[in-house]
Amino acid sequence: MDINQAEKNIKRAWLLSAIAIPAFIASIYLSNIIKINLYLFMPWLFPGIFMLPELVIVSVLTFMVRKKNRVAAVLLLGVYILDRGFTYLWLYVFGTVFIIIWLCVTLIWGLIFIQGIRGTFAYHRLKGTMTSES
């Protein structure tokens, strides 16, 4: 992986998280306005179950991933995995099709966050070799 690919992977991870934050807020208001159950939006929501505290944590981690922080990238994936685990337990009462859709979205998002982690580690490794060569 070269430095440009590492930066693209980092950008994908923080953009996905940054887009999910206003989408989450909009879905809360949309579910209240048109009286649709918020759980119908659950496959696409991140943060999900814990709402406000998780929203703040995800926002801070997203900003730190944008600044190419390796620890924040790993923590963002950890928060995502914990949230998806709790959401799965919460959604267990819904139908199989809903859970399959949720699982597909979860796997795609998880892969993007994993690529973000790989990108941050590669970025710092490549930056270190570029600095030592100079």
pLDDT in tens, 62-101: 999 999 999 999 999 998 888 877 777 766 666 677 778 7
pTM value?
A: 0.77
Domain count, the chain: 1
- Residue length, the chain? 134
Task: For residue 56, tell me if it sits in a domain.
Answer: yes
User: What is the span of the domain harbouring residue 123?
Assistant: 3-129
Indicate if the pLDDT at residue 115 is higher than 90: yes
Measured CA to CA in angstroms, residue 93 lies from 1, 27, 40, 96, 101 at distances of 42, 21, 12, 9, 14
Reference 110, options 4, 20, 5; nearest CA is 20
Give domain status of residue 89, yes or no.
Answer: yes
* pLDDT at res. 81: 86
Contact assessment for residue 13 and residue 115, using Cβ atoms and an 8 Å cutoff: yes
- Specify if 134 maps to a domain: no
Binning pLDDT at 50, 70 and 90, where does residue 32 land?
low
